[in-house]
Each structure stands twice: as structure tokens, then as C-alpha cells.
Chains A and B, each alone.
Chain A
Amino acid sequence: MPKVTIDGHTIEVPEGTTILQAARMIGGDVTPPAMCYYSKLKTSGGYCRTCIVKVTKGSEKDPRPMPKPVASCRTTVMDGMEVQNNSAPDLLEARKGVVEFLLINHPLDCPICDQAGECHLQDLSYENGLSTSRYEFKRREFEKIDIGDKIKLHMTRCILCYRCVKVADQVCDTRVHGVINRGDVAEISTYIEKAVDHDFSGNMIDVCPVGALTDRTFRFKSRVWFTRPMDAHRDCKTCCGRVVLYMSGNEVLRVSARKDQWGEVEDASEGRAGWICNECRFEKKELKDWTVEGPRNIDRHSVISQNQYLEKKNLRIDVSNQKQIEEKAHN
């Protein structure tokens, strides 16, 4: 098993592990940020360049350092490799540059964006970005598109991570959307605004790291940090049925898949990714549809994790009330 040292932490990892995965195994500050990599989607990663790291020693056999910073999400670990992430100031400077590039055409409309509070780009720019923008030109703009009656595509916010394209490719069986045009006017689009119609198409909302793809049933309903995330499940024929409900009072505002600390969907069972179907996501918006398990600990450094619902005693859901609802549903 190859041994890799990242910022002075040494870890032994299985063959074929990427530097990013190894860093996630170590955890903490060592982990480079990743905007486009998604471990559940094959061939994802390598596009956003935020996860770049400096390889100071290639391997035990070939100790030469790599000449350029490499994308840690797509570079496999070699035995004896030494990697610098936070300990290399020039690398942090380079990453700052990447964050700036991602932000120059981003509208920064966080106050009216549904993703605010759980946005990876917000976290990224908070941790690695500059406090002001040096860009003084008109930002790129696109028309908003409805792809189907449930998903809104707001291309202006997109950072072209290609995750939703990979979802359409790998989770859905037909791909009806992709990237058209090139350069800084490249956009995610369906062919002539065709609706995306597939049982699992809603997962592209979950994988979107920014507010480019949002849930039309949740749009402008609430800020996420005012909602109470609750683990819940139901017996679903199409998907695993394990979800998080974002609630306000006893009202279910939004349903999403369960995400881990890296913002990726959790495994459901037997190593299968816990993608949820559109019926669970968009149709089942009543508490009686679900069996609530308890409060969800959102394990990301975003504002939701700071909310006050983590302690069970503060729960405002009346369990007896829910039982009554369930009984009524049975009758």
C-alpha cells in the first residue's frame, strides 16, 4: 500500500487512491477544496482547479518534484509521494487566483440566491478568496431557463463544474443536456430548452455546488438557515427513500438527498450512492409521507451547521402530533 505525506501528515492508502481522497482520509485543514470533483460520479473532477496541490516529491522511485501544480482529484498517489497543500504559500496564492477566476463572472447575488448558506463557492471564497474584486467589466449574463416544471437553470451563476452533466450521463439513462458553446460563454443547456424528464433528474440540483440549478418547488420559500433539517425516510419503489427534510414548523419546504461533510450524497446501502427520485424530492411535501428519524447534523462549515436544532431537546416537532398524522393517513 502506498504511503503519502500531505502537509507533514503521513497516511497509508489503497492503490489507486487520489491525493484528494487521501487528504480527505486525513481530514481537517489538509483537505484541498473541490468544486467539480464528486466521488460518486465517474470521470468528474479536474476542471475547476481549486484542488491543485504541489507535489514536492514524485515517489520513492522517482523523487523528482512535479513541475506544475497538479489537480489532486485526478492524480493518483504514488508510494513515498510528498504533497504540500496549506504549507506552500505560492500554492495558496495560485489557488487564490483560481477562486478569483471563478468569481469574476459570478453575479454574487447571494442575497437573493437559494443556495446561499449551503453554497460551496461561498465557502471557497470565504476561505481562499480576496475580499474585493479586481474585475471591473460587465459580467457575463444568461437568461434563466426552466428545464422542466421542477428545475430552474440560472446559468449566470454556473461555474461549469460539469457535475450535472455527469449526473445526466451516469444516473439518468438518457442525457438530454450538456455544454454548448465554448470559452467564457459556454453554457449548460438542454437542446432548445427541452425539459429534462427523468426519474432521477432532480439529483442535478443536489450536485450543483452553486445556485445554478435550483428546486422550483423551494424557490424563494425560505433561507436555508431558517429551516430545520431532519433525517427522514419512506418506502420508495424507485429509490432508497432516505432523505433530509428542510422544515419550517411542520411544513416540509424542501427535500434533498443526504449529504456528507464533503457535500456529496451518502451511500444508501451496499455502497450504492443514495440518489433520490423526483417523486420523493418534488411530490412528497407533507410530513405524513415521511417517517422522521431526527435532526440532521449538517457537517459542513456553512451557516446551517451553526443552527440551534442540533440538540434534541430543542426540537419543536411534536412527535405525538406526527403519530396522529400517521394514524390519520392509515385510516
Chain B
Amino acid sequence: MKAFIHSRRFVIFLFLLPAAFFCILYLVAPIPISAYYSFFDWRGLNQGRFIGWENWKRLINDRVFWLSVKNNFKLVFFSLITQIPIGLILAALLSSKIKGSRLFKVIFFIPMLISSVAVAFLWRYMYDPYFGLINNFFRLIGLDRFALDWLGDPGLAFYSVVVATCWQYIPLYMIIFMAGITSIPEELYEAAKIDGATSFQTFWRITIPLLWPTIVNAAVLVIVGSLKYFALIFALTGGGPNHASEVMATYMYVKAFTEMRMGYGSTISFSLFMIAFTVSVFFLYITNLRKNSRW
């Protein structure tokens, strides 16, 4: 018995068991279960009724679902073109030899510590048409016509969400880029200075090219991360107004847990999995091909 307990096989089994238990139960099993549920008409807590491909047929023709998919990818796109450049600029600014850059960095990172729910509520007070900070600011400087209904206007709500997500996640990319800039050899900057390069030129000709692998990896993080937004949008707009800021996760939540249509919710949920998983695998595969990538 003692020999068995100390045998290599048993130790491997024992050490991997807890991790395997949690991962299989909560991560792996839910995916096929979700696929299975998608074939049922299942409302509330009653037993489901098998309906074959009905949910999937409905999904194909569900205008709101496709709108949420489109919004999800739009969110990926806008996150890319805002979070990466602003993060990069802030990193470059903080990496220049100025006094107090550490303090700036520490304060700039704070939004990353705030829960998405709190970020959403904070931005509700930024955007409020009457007492919100943004509109008060515009009124203060006499630009009353810019005092808009940021979350209530279907044409604006999506972009208001984008701004809030930027506010939350830019610090992460700023820190990643700062770490990248630190690893660029100082000599290159000195050589550039001797050659009479301007700060702008050194940024474009040295910082950006040498940071490129880091930028690509950060872009993958933005893409994969942007497909997973839920809490922020759910608490900020609830996907509204009129689905203007709906994403797959919020739509799934509404169908499954507000309307209690678990079968149809599972259909959306499994689609969400397939889309996010495919995109993640695709981009991680591409970046892993670049063996020279470093952080």
C-alpha cells in the first residue's frame, strides 16, 4: 500500500486530480452541454422539449443576434484603434526622462483595479444628460450643443461604451508597452541623438519598429478581450437603447436569464463560444508562429 501511494503513477494522478476536476466540471463540460441544450425548447424551470434544429433556424434569422455579433466585432475594431495607440503614446510619454513619471504611472493604472460594474456606473455619471460631468463641462465652456444624451441616443450609445472600455483597459496596454520600451537598448537612442534625430523621428524609427512584436501581441489581447465584454455593457446600457450596444453576451443573458428561455439562450451561448474560440485560436496560432515575439 505504501509503495502504491508513493508510486509515480499515483502521485501524478493525485496531483492532477483537483485541477482536472474543476476544469472538466466548470470549463470543458459546459460547452457540449450548451450545444445539447440548444436543441431544446426550454423555458423557466420546466423540463425541456426536444425541438431539433428549431433554435438554430431561429438564430439564423434573428436580426438582433446578428446585430450583436456585428457590434462585438465593431467593438474589437474600435478597441484596437483606440486602446493600442493611446496606450503607446502614454507609454512613450512616461518613458521619457521626466520627473514624476512613476507617480503618473501609478495613478494612470487605477482604472484597471475597478470592477467593470463600478466603471459602468462611474461612466453613467459622466454621461448623465443633466448632472453628468461631460455635459456640465460642455455647458461650462459654452458649448451647450455638445451636451448630448450620450447613452440614450441610439446613434451615440455604442461609442459611449467604447470610450468607457478604453478608460478601463488603456492602462494595461500602457504598462505592457512601457515594459517593452525599457527593453530597447539605450544606445540606439543615443546614436539617433548624435545623428540629430528629433524625438518624433526616434519614436517612429526606433520605438515603433522595435516594439512591433509587443504591439502585435497586445493587439491579440485586445481582440480576444473585446469579445468577452459583458459586465461593463450590461451595467452601462444593458445593450440598449433598442439594441444599439447589444453584444453576444448581453443578448444571451437577456434571453436565458431575463426571458428564461434557456434553450435559445444556449444556442446563442454556443455560438458565442464558437466565435470567440475560433478567433482566439486563430490569433494565438498566428502570434505563436512569430517565434521572436517577446514581451
A and B are interacting partners? no
Residues of A within 8 A of B (CB): none
